[in-house]
Structure 1
Amino acid sequence: MSSCDFHLRSHPDKLLFRHLSNVGNKSSSTSEEKSLSLDKFGIDENTFSNIAYLVGICHDFGKGTEYFQSYLLETNPSIQRSLKNKKEYQHGLISAIFAYYILKMYIYPLNNKNILEYIPVIGYLIVKRHHGNLKDSEDEILELDEDTLEIIDLQIESLDTRELKTIYEELLDGYAISFDIDTFCNEYRSIAKDILKNRRKFIKLLKKEQFTGYYLITLTLYSILINSDKIDASSIDVSSEIEISPELVDKYKVEKGFQNNESIMNKVRNEIYEEVTESIEKLDLNKKIYSISVPTGSGKTLTSLSFALKLKARLRKEKRINSKIIYSLPFLSIIDQNYDAFEDVFKTVETSNPSEDVLLKHHHLADIFYRTQDDEEFEGLKSLFLIEGWNSEIIVTTFVQFFHTIVSNKNRSLRKFHTIANSIVILDEVQSIPHKYWLLLKQVIFGFAEYFNTYFIFVTATQPLIFDPEKKEIIELVKNKDKYFREFDRVKLEINLNPMNLDEFKETIESEIKEKPKKDFLVVLNTVKSSLNIFNHLNKLKLENTTYYYLSTNIIPKERLKKIKEIKEESDKRKIIVSTQLIEAGVDIDVDIVYRDFATIDSINQVAGRCNRNSSKPKRGEVKIVVLKDERKELHRYIYSSFLIDKTRDVLKESPSELYEKDLISLNNSYFRKVKDTSSEDESNKLLSYVNELKFKSLTSDFRLIDDKAGYEKIDVFVELDDKAVEIWKEYILLKSIKDPLKRKEKYLTIRKEFNEYLISVPKKDFSCEEPEDLNIGYVPFEQIKHYYNPETGFIFELKSTMMCD
């Protein structure tokens, strides 16, 4: 039987042989493109590539049954859907048993008792769940019970062994594997018993060793498989050699004339830039975790990009590593800001907009559009596929996207897991990572650095002690950081730890606003209720030559971003801004006076960065820390953990009541040292045990980068604020009439960006509008807007006794 006589299909329009060959080859070439350091695993790069190939050619073995073929060729959609749910028509488990069988034959002659011994079990786990989300490994293997094996009996009987024999003889040509399809069919129950026996040994090993490497190897192979599978199934593969000049930002700074500006701010920014970028030549490339710790507003965005581009060039030249640059930030409010800065670099130097395969923005409000340098354009599902695969040289994305990729069990998220290997990852504003996850993320990041040659750059003014510089776990690229903090003298901090209620605070701030009619004010509060209370009070003053702004997540994203843009623009009127803490990290605004309800040290430092940011004021900016309370407790208790607040109080009590910018670095260091030395690592240790024992489902259930401390059940609400929203909602409703799920999703993607711009998340108990049937979403119709949404302050809540957190 020759390959031209094949009839088994993997997809309606594709032969099974061709699909298995393509996925195996793509898996192999993907792994070969990576420079890995797997000596500790006893795996060389050629062996790893072969394992990826074998997993790829085995993953759809079970599609060779009569059951699957009849399902695939069924033309009646309702019958096909009913068949899909019957176990004998599914192919994952039988393919997983086959993958175990093939991998064991490949591994056995290598006579290696390290991780290689368990590659067949790992291959079983990967293939079994290649169409779903990963479960806990022990539970996954325990599903091999008698009832399940009786289903496999039926599938074995229905295999087209003649064609499968020919397929695998060709696919395994050149591999020292004595494959025989009849042997597999006769011995599959013994193979299943062997999997169960090795499970006990494997699980015992995982619990004993507590080694993160098993997790990283498993997810890398899983990621390579599902990415290769989806690429071949979709026939979408964009890959090209793209050169980005390491001097790109240098040229941009010259074009923009930054070097000629001799202000103190620009002088310091240029010194920091030169110190960081010049360090690249002497850098020990065996050290892979770096920090850039500089004051807010000192140009860290362009500095870190330039450093990454120069590191990328050096890695390519000396180690033949082609690195992506992944720039990750915690908040949507600054993603667009930093992306725009990167885009301006390309537009200024290259005199054209960068295509998406060069520079990509990935978050839920981003456009679903993808264009290559060759002007090939993709939209809808094809575009989404390329975006979610991070098929670009520079990716600007969120912490949620990044950290819920490296700590996940989700098929959709893990597809891009392997792209992080060999990448240069810039983590901006890392102080926002919850301290309870420090140890977990430290171990996973360290594993990427050590085994997958991934480089990490931690960027912030307030460097948390995730990695300890005293132990040389992280290399500071800014050797003169103390000097730079001393040179900046932009703000004075006044700390008042005596609690006051909102009425007392109103009197205080009203008095100062009236006394200083030319000063811009920013008031940052901890709860929605207090922020609305203060904004409404100040707004009613109707002071001359004053514009009032309110910012909170209960304002739809479209309006929120519009307000931030207006705040940043020059104006003859002074500005009074009342906000919840979303304003803190990175939002590039500049005011004279800041009031901040009590918060953790890193939050205080961040909000100080919004005060006299560009050193353009005749006097120091003033940052005033107050402690607000209601009838029950201090308002910060609704937001922050007692542990972090207590550490902040301890540090501030040891400090003068007036502080200056030069004092901030020691204040931050003291705070993070106290947090590290006295914090409980119980949460991280529990999650780390899930990582090390391959308990994927348990891990994802417990890991939440964004923790809703209030604990309210929330609902997404679409706010039909304007005529555009009315149009979008009509299109959204029409989606229900599209029966084909792929066509429905394709249509949704055409409106997703604009739809999300009108979406807010509110506590369900505060949403009294009737929910549209079957949509699982709240809806505020245009004609009822005045009852539920205020253009200035956003969603109208039933506040009463409730404290709502933002």
Structure 2
Amino acid sequence: MSKQIHDKEQTNQFVAHYRREDGTIQDVWSHLANVSDRAAANASKISLQEPASLCGLVHDLGKASQAFNDYIRSAEGLPTTSGTQQRMGRGSIDHSTAGAQWLYQHLKAMPGNVLSRQLLPLITASHHSELIDCLAPDGENRFLERMDKDKLRTHYDEVMTNLPDDFKEKMYLKAADPALEQSLHLVINKVMEAEDDRVTRAFKLGLLTRMLFSTLLDADRVDTIDHQNPTVALQRPDGQYISWITLTQRLEATLSQFTVTNDIDRYRQQVSERCREMATQEPGVFRLTVPTGGGKTLASLRFALHHAQQHQMDRIIYVVPYTAIIDQNARTIRNILETEAGEPAIVMEHHSNLDPRREVPDNDHFWTQNWDAPVVLTTMVQFLESFFGSGTGPVRRLHQMTRAVIIFDEIQSLPVRCTHMVNLAIRFLVKACHSTVVLCTATQPLLEAVQPASRALSSKAISEITPDVKALFQQFKRVKVNDETHGNYWTHEVLAGKIMTAAETTASVLAIFNTKKDAALVYDAVDDIRNETGSETKVFHLSTHMCPAHRRQILEDVNQCLNEKKPVICISTQLIEAGVDIDFTTVFRALAGLDSIQQAAGRCNRHGKISQGQLFLFQLQNENLSRLTDIREGKEVTLRLLNEYHNNPGDFDEDLLSAKAMNRYYEYYFYQRQSEMSYPLPRSAGVGNDSCLFDLLAENPQAVGAYQRINGQSPDMLLRQSFQTAAKAFQAIDKSTQGVIVPYGEEGERIIKSLCGLSPWDSPGELLKLSQQYAVNCYAHELNRLVAEGALHETTQGSGIYYLNGRHYSREKGLQLQGALQTMDTMTF
């Protein structure tokens, strides 16, 4: 069909979207009706279909104006109603405010609409940005400013005139439905708990607002994508997945083939059986405390599959701290659940290091945008961004956490500053969203013991999947802890000698360090001893100065040595601790938090092949932890705990790795860091002194105070949050790094050459996705040093994409910050 459409009826249509491939127009009224239906379906899981439906029906009313119609037609090369072909910038025509203004004016005029009169207009006005500030930190009423925006600029009166009679009637009927306000009150009443104070109630109301926003946002994006790409629409799973019965049968068939060869296998089997039994319990918060090496990945999957089947859940979501764990767990789960050729993909990975060549089916990136899959593996970063991050992409997925089994693998990795917000998010998911949350780790943080109690999990509401944790830890005890820290500070050379001596005796040694610098120095010292003595022991190094593809290869090489029982030493940073299935006879661990020590012990005699593994705790001379707050604080608490343990080991069940010791550690650690748990904000955030993200998302006292000083009274509004300001200030992790592409292997070199060969008008998107496996994240001081060394190069001028000179990347240690390498160890590019 020609782009030039001369039919008068089509020329006068109000266009929502235009598909260039075949000239098909989606008119505004069709788009609004579709989004209304889809938003209602999204929100029905939390019984808010009426509010979501109304927001969907009016969200793009502003598109029914001549200005917007001319804008979109001109952009697509179509005839305009005015006959002009003036090109305007994207977003230059406000089409999201008119519907919000109608909602605000109509709903506030109806008595009793306490919640809907602000919540629904706010969501509607925000759908092309992110949730706007209700009150800005400076006290300005941003919500009212938007609702009072000049109607000539929002085209309000023109839009109301252009409404078809039947559509207008539908709008007024939906707005008059008593269920609109009642449903909001029912959900609010459901989510409020006895321990809540005014602040936590305000925070939960903010969570509800963001959840409802998610249902509208995703409905809008999906309808737009489906119109633009009908193939995607036909292939979209849309929640229609393979049955839980089939998936549980596949898991049970796999588990039935496992053989029990020792006590550790038998204990793992008992944990798995307990998970199967507890799956019949009602949805809620569960705690799966399993010692490292206890088989919690498959045990938690067993619980999740049976629980999802029992309670007709929509999906299972694994939330893990590191991308390396996702890669490993996804491969394990996929091998069990995806057994039939030609079936739709069951397991979806969503994380920053995903290799796009592994995405299946071809349109997997569309499903990833809103987690449209039965089993999703993602990171803590993605989970936190969905709840608190900026932009519209992450929040789209939030509604998919309703009616879900959400497993937090290694929950101890939750950032301390997010503790209060995540506790309330978990309570919200369980109370309002009919979801189940499983807190899974060997080192359970005492989330029920944080202060104030209104921001803690309720101990009464937590169900222990493995109730006798003390006995379980005794059963899995297979490591002796040797504390070498009292008054001792080893040099790198002394430690290297001890590691080599241990390797000669026990064949396999793992040494874990708090800093990349110390790991590299000890690696060099060990390698020097190996070369001097002519030892055949293989020595490997692991750190985040290696790209993901490099680290993966090193782990494969180490495992091969272990499987072939060849002498091997691995020198690593703490990246090896969580979720990496690897088994050494001896482990050396630089003193850190007890949770890290417990995880290190999980890499020692992991499968119980010997009677007792050996774990040595040590302190290094001149260790610099000034930039590593979490490790430094954890180390200080562990030193206190070690003193208490040596004075009275009976208080810890005679075991430094006991559950009792871990509880004592977290009591001290949380007390020491309780002032950080509400996400304190730096002055650079521009929201005043002593402010925190939690306050911005709750009662927002500083903004309210500023409003009162300006206006002499309190704001007449229920929602007072600075949503947009908080979202922009939120960082799940330290983002002050930049990725540098490194020439690791033939693929790394090929990617760099391809990026350098792009023309200015070419898109690097696909190559950048591939490069995620071949990139190292560098801090500003590291980048500055590389620049000084002449080691960084821009792929093309002005691209902002940098790669590393091959003489600064080692096959043994990865990125080298200082001094070009002169040996054959360097990469060729």
* TM norm. shorter chain > 0.5: yes
The residue that corresponds to 2:3 in the other structure is: none
Is the Cα–Cα contact under 8 Å of residues 488 and 662 in structure 1 kept in the other structure? no
What CA distance in whole angstroms lies between the structure 2 residues aligned with 1:164 and 1:439? 46
Note the C-alpha offset of 1:536: 1.1
Deviates further, 719-728 or 248-257? 248-257
Is the Cα–Cα contact under 8 Å of residues 214 and 396 in structure 2 kept in the other structure? yes
The residue that corresponds to 2:43 in the other structure is: 31
What CA distance in whole angstroms lies between the structure 2 residues aligned with 1:639 and 1:662? 23
Which of 30, 35, 38 matches 1:18? 30
Is 1:714–2:737 an aligned residue pair?
Answer: yes
Is the Cα–Cα contact under 8 Å of residues 259 and 270 in structure 1 kept in the other structure? no
Is the Cα–Cα contact under 8 Å of residues 593 and 621 in structure 1 kept in the other structure? yes
Is the Cα–Cα contact under 8 Å of residues 63 and 91 in structure 1 kept in the other structure? yes
Note the C-alpha offset of 1:210: 4.4
Note the C-alpha offset of 1:561: 1.1
Note the C-alpha offset of 1:406: 1.7
What CA distance in whole angstroms lies between the structure 1 residues aligned with 2:300 and 2:380? 17
> TM-score, normalised to structure 1's length?
0.81
Is the Cα–Cα contact under 8 Å of residues 718 and 759 in structure 1 kept in the other structure? yes
Alignment of 1:772-791 (within 5 A): 772=795, 773-780=797-804, 784-786=805-807, 788-791=808-811
Note the C-alpha offset of 1:3: 11
What CA distance in whole angstroms lies between the structure 2 residues aligned with 1:293 and 1:478? 7
What CA distance in whole angstroms lies between the structure 2 residues aligned with 1:363 and 1:371? 12
The alignment covers a number of residue pairs equal to: 714
Q: 1:325–1:796: structure 2 CA closer, same or farther, 3 Å change rule? A: same
Note the C-alpha offset of 1:702: 4.2
Is 1:653–2:647 an aligned residue pair?
Answer: no
Aligned-partner residue type, residue 582 of structure 1:
L
Q: 1:85–1:143: structure 2 CA closer, same or farther, 3 Å change rule? A: farther
Is the Cα–Cα contact under 8 Å of residues 490 and 661 in structure 1 kept in the other structure? no
What do residues 54-103 of structure 1 show as CA deviations (whole Å, max 9, x unaligned)? 100111111122211111011489x999623675x222233321232354
What CA distance in whole angstroms lies between the structure 2 residues aligned with 1:732 and 1:166? 55
Note the C-alpha offset of 1:719: 1.3
What CA distance in whole angstroms lies between the structure 2 residues aligned with 1:81 and 1:778? 39
Q: 1:499–1:771: structure 2 CA closer, same or farther, 3 Å change rule? A: farther
Which of 202, 218, 221 matches 1:227? 218
The residue that corresponds to 2:88 in the other structure is: 83
Give secondary structure in 1 for the equivalent of 2:279: helix
Which of 110, 114, 130 matches 1:117? 114
The residue that corresponds to 2:103 in the other structure is: 99
Q: 1:793–1:290: structure 2 CA closer, same or farther, 3 Å change rule? A: same
The residue that corresponds to 1:585 in the other structure is: 578
Alignment of 1:448-487 (within 5 A): 448-468=429-449, 471-487=459-475
Aligned-partner residue type, residue 588 of structure 2:
Y
Note the C-alpha offset of 1:139: 3.3
Which of 677, 680, 689 matches 2:674? 680
Is the Cα–Cα contact under 8 Å of residues 291 and 472 in structure 2 kept in the other structure? yes
CA RMSD for the aligned pairs?
A: 3.3
The residue that corresponds to 2:695 in the other structure is: 689
Deviates further, 234-243 or 653-662? 653-662
What CA distance in whole angstroms lies between the structure 1 residues aligned with 2:444 and 2:629? 21
The residue that corresponds to 2:712 in the other structure is: none
The residue that corresponds to 2:545 in the other structure is: 554
Is the Cα–Cα contact under 8 Å of residues 584 and 604 in structure 2 kept in the other structure? yes
Q: 1:684–1:148: structure 2 CA closer, same or farther, 3 Å change rule? A: closer
Is the Cα–Cα contact under 8 Å of residues 426 and 458 in structure 1 kept in the other structure? yes
What CA distance in whole angstroms lies between the structure 1 residues aligned with 2:97 and 2:168? 22
Deviates further, 387-396 or 210-219? 210-219
The residue that corresponds to 1:601 in the other structure is: 594
Q: 1:487–1:250: structure 2 CA closer, same or farther, 3 Å change rule? A: farther
The residue that corresponds to 2:605 in the other structure is: 612
The residue that corresponds to 1:771 in the other structure is: 794
The residue that corresponds to 1:796 in the other structure is: 816
The residue that corresponds to 1:435 in the other structure is: 416
The residue that corresponds to 1:339 in the other structure is: 330
Q: 1:70–1:645: structure 2 CA closer, same or farther, 3 Å change rule? A: same
Q: 1:359–1:150: structure 2 CA closer, same or farther, 3 Å change rule? A: closer
Q: 1:656–1:476: structure 2 CA closer, same or farther, 3 Å change rule? A: same
Give secondary structure in 1 for the equivalent of 2:271: helix
Which of 599, 623, 642 matches 2:615? 623
What CA distance in whole angstroms lies between the structure 1 residues aligned with 2:85 and 2:662? 61
Is the Cα–Cα contact under 8 Å of residues 742 and 774 in structure 2 kept in the other structure? yes
Aligned-partner residue type, residue 267 of structure 1:
R
Q: 1:365–1:498: structure 2 CA closer, same or farther, 3 Å change rule? A: same
Q: 1:174–1:755: structure 2 CA closer, same or farther, 3 Å change rule? A: same
What CA distance in whole angstroms lies between the structure 1 residues aligned with 2:468 and 2:565? 38
What do residues 646-665 of structure 1 show as CA deviations (whole Å, max 9, x unaligned)? 32221111113999768422
Deviates further, 661-670 or 122-131? 661-670
Alignment of 1:469-548 (within 5 A): 471-498=459-486, 504-514=491-501, 516-517=503-504, 518-540=506-528, 541-542=530-531, 543-548=534-539
What CA distance in whole angstroms lies between the structure 2 residues aligned with 1:70 and 1:732? 39
Give secondary structure in 1 for the equivalent of 2:214: helix
What CA distance in whole angstroms lies between the structure 2 residues aligned with 1:147 and 1:31? 25
Q: 1:156–1:331: structure 2 CA closer, same or farther, 3 Å change rule? A: closer
Q: 1:512–1:779: structure 2 CA closer, same or farther, 3 Å change rule? A: closer
Is the Cα–Cα contact under 8 Å of residues 323 and 352 in structure 2 kept in the other structure? no
Is the Cα–Cα contact under 8 Å of residues 293 and 481 in structure 1 kept in the other structure? yes
Aligned-partner residue type, residue 99 of structure 2:
S
Give secondary structure in 1 for the equivalent of 2:646: coil
Is the Cα–Cα contact under 8 Å of residues 65 and 158 in structure 1 kept in the other structure? no
What do residues 126-166 of structure 1 show as CA deviations (whole Å, max 9, x unaligned)? 22221113332213983478899675324438825543243
The residue that corresponds to 1:194 in the other structure is: none
What CA distance in whole angstroms lies between the structure 2 residues aligned with 1:427 and 1:366? 20
Note the C-alpha offset of 1:476: 0.8
Alignment of 1:162-561 (within 5 A): 162-166=161-165, 168-169=167-168, 171-172=170-171, 174-175=173-174, 177=176, 210-235=201-226, 236=233, 237-246=236-245, 248=247, 252=251, 254-255=253-254, 258-281=257-280, 283=281, 285=282, 288-316=284-312, 322-347=313-338, 350-352=339-341, 355-356=344-345, 358-368=346-356, 377-379=361-363, 383-468=364-449, 471-498=459-486, 504-514=491-501, 516-517=503-504, 518-540=506-528, 541-542=530-531, 543-561=534-552
Q: 1:730–1:302: structure 2 CA closer, same or farther, 3 Å change rule? A: same
What CA distance in whole angstroms lies between the structure 1 residues aligned with 2:577 and 2:567? 20
What CA distance in whole angstroms lies between the structure 2 residues aligned with 1:728 and 1:612? 40
Deviates further, 145-154 or 397-406? 145-154
Is 1:565–2:556 an aligned residue pair?
Answer: yes
> TM-score, normalised to structure 2's length?
0.79
Gaps of 5+ in 2: 1-7, 19-24, 78-83, 178-196, 227-232, 450-456, 680-691, 700-720, 821-829
What CA distance in whole angstroms lies between the structure 2 residues aligned with 1:515 and 1:452? 53
The residue that corresponds to 2:765 in the other structure is: 748
What CA distance in whole angstroms lies between the structure 1 residues aligned with 2:812 and 2:499? 23
Q: 1:778–1:505: structure 2 CA closer, same or farther, 3 Å change rule? A: same
Q: 1:799–1:585: structure 2 CA closer, same or farther, 3 Å change rule? A: farther
What do residues 471-514 of structure 1 show as CA deviations (whole Å, max 9, x unaligned)? 31421110222212111231111112246556x34224314523
What CA distance in whole angstroms lies between the structure 2 residues aligned with 1:134 and 1:153? 23
Q: 1:363–1:642: structure 2 CA closer, same or farther, 3 Å change rule? A: closer
Give secondary structure in 1 for the equivalent of 2:288: strand
Is the Cα–Cα contact under 8 Å of residues 495 and 626 in structure 1 kept in the other structure? yes
